[in-house]
Structure 1
Amino acid sequence: MKVVVIGGTGLIGSKVVGKLTEHGHEAVAAAPNTGVNTLTGEGLAEVLKGASVVVDVSNSPSFEDQAVMDFFRTSTTNVLKAEAEAGVTHHVALSVVGTERLQGSGYFRAKQAQEELIKASGIPYTIVHATQFFEFMKAIAAEATDGDTVRLSPAKIQPIASDDVAAAVGRATVGTPVNGVVEVAGPEAYPLDALVRKALAAKNDPRTVVSDVHATYFGVELKEDTLLPGPDAHIAETKLADWAAAQPQ
């Protein structure tokens, strides 16, 4: 089976390509550095020839409200049009647990717009909602930093290893389209402030994490369960401590 992975050279995409290749599929990484530009359409028709499935794990280079909306709308529209012309029979996209609850954020409004385009396309699809990656804790801390203080909500988060996200995307890719959303999450839930405090301490980072129920998460005030998956989520195996122990020092 030929699978084209949009964003196939990034953190998740490269792992998805590797896992599919290991299982005997023809997995092709499609990204600007492989000659495929989903914003202009360059290379799309060529790379999709003979493809059964398209996996979209791409991300916007800018998180500014209008730029990220333009990226997901334009890219997704171009990809879906090219898929329809190429006869692709399954579109798999990676999105975020809680996207529909985070609409105060321009980024998550753009992800919601992407999902709505996919649902309206007529192409059978599976949307994988993942919780936040262990690898993204540094970016969460950076976004919440003011001077030497990191102000974060104590709302719960159930982070996941990027390897487990890639495995979930891989399972969706070789499975039957669900024409809906499947969720995947890590095995442990933490208060967001405590998790980042732990991550910074492990790196001897001197910043102070302050708990604040009104602190925003990429512009959105969180409720206790905003970032948590539902009861039917697939729970991955990798625990934070095991993932951290395996990271290069």
Structure 2
Amino acid sequence: MARIVVIGGTGLIGSKVVGKLADHGHDVVPASPASGVNTVTGEGVADVLVGADVVVDVSNSPSFEEHDVMVFFTTSTRNVLAAEREAGVRHHVALTIVGTNRPHDIPYFRAKTAQEELIRESGIGYSLVHATQFFEFLGSIADISTDGDTVTLPGALIQPMAAEDVATAVARAAAGEPAGDIEVGGPEQFGLDEFIRRGLAFHNDPRTVVRDDASPYYGAQIEKRTLIPADGAEIFATRLDEWLPLNPARR
């Protein structure tokens, strides 16, 4: 079995990935600032990668501000890749987003695209797991799109999935051989407005959701199909109506 270091291993996805890989007998090391590993400053990175066969990076920027998010993903990825070369790591797995390879003007997507380019050019075997939006983002999407009691969103399509399924996809990639680009998504397509409307209604949230195709998504205009996976993506089974009862609203 492989020795696998999970960068961001204590977060929403990372903790699930660590558990899944450990359950299958792998020697898994969660790494995060709390464990003394800071990929932006480089602190602890070389030490934690000693003896590692695979590195999984599911870390995320603490700030979504355009400059901050670009600095985070490019700096941390360069530091991790440099340490991987020294340690002889054979496989780099990173969680990224469906849509980064399509026309968009989303600052977060631009930062993830820059991260992907660094990984592709690193000379290290890689798997890039492009996931659709998580069901767990429902509340934050609603909140960032709220003015008073109204949530305004475009009808652009999404095909969201459960974080549990995202973690399964990442863990499978880590346990396998480098596979290049992988796309994964959920079983249902919704307009962004419909997705949020259904979630808020389930939790008796009084806000009204209004569709406006000219409204931004995280500060940017998006095309109708930017956020949905291409043909051939791996589709996971968890549906929104199965997920909602198990996940109380977080306000």
TM-score tier by shorter-chain length is over 0.9
Q: Which residue of 2 aligns with 1:223?
A: 223
Report the alpha carbon displacement of residue 81 of structure 1 after superposing the two structures with TM: 0.1
Map 1:181-200 → 2, pairs under 5 A = 181-200=181-200
* Paired position in structure 1 for 2:107: 106
1:224 alignment partner, SS class: coil
Contact 2:104 2:221 in 1 (8 A): no
Inter-CA distance 248–140: structure 2 relative to 1 (3 Å threshold):
closer
SS in 1 for 2:101: helix
Deviation sequence 1:128-163 (CA, Å, 0-9, x none)? 000000000111111111222111111111000000
2:209 counterpart SS class? strand
Give the aligned partner of residue 151 of structure 1.
Answer: 152
**Deviation at residue 42 of structure 1 after TM alignment:** 0.9
The equivalent residue for 2:116 is 115
The match for 1:238 is: 238
Normalized against structure 2, the TM-score is what?
A: 0.96
2:204 counterpart residue number: 204
Normalising by structure 1, report the TM-score: 0.97
Superposed CA offset, 1:172-199 (max 9, x none): 1111102x21000001111110110111
Distance 1:3 1:50 in 2: 9
Q: CA deviation at 1:107?
A: 1.0
What displacement does 1:102 show? 5.8
- Structure 2 counterpart of 1:6: 7
Amino acid at match of 2:80: V
Kindly indicate whether the alpha-carbon contact (under 8 Å) linking 1:102 and 1:220 is maintained by their aligned counterparts in 2.
no
- Displacement, 1:46? 1.1
> Which residue of the partner structure matches residue 88 of structure 1?
89
Structure 1 residue ranges without an equivalent (≥5): none
Contact 2:203 2:248 in 1 (8 A): no
Number of aligned positions between the proteins:
248
Q: Which runs of 4+ in 1 moved over 6 A?
A: none
Deviation at 1:220, TM superposition (A): 2.3
Once the two structures are TM-superposed, the CA of residue 248 in structure 1 deviates from its matched residue by 4.6
- Indicate if the aligned counterparts of 2:105 and 2:222 stay in contact, CA closer than 8 A: no
- Equivalent residue, structure 2, for 1:16: 17
Aligned to 2:176: 175
Structure 1 residues 136 and 95: alpha-carbon distance in aligned structure 2, compared to 1, 3 A threshold: same
C-alpha contact (below 8 Å) 1:36/1:44 kept by paired residues? yes
Determine what percentage of the aligned residue pairs are the same residue.
60
Cα distance in 2, alignment partners of residues 164 and 123 from structure 1: 26
* Paired amino acid for 2:233: A
Q: Does 1:133 align with 2:137?
A: no
Deviates more, 1:184-193 or 1:218-227: 218-227
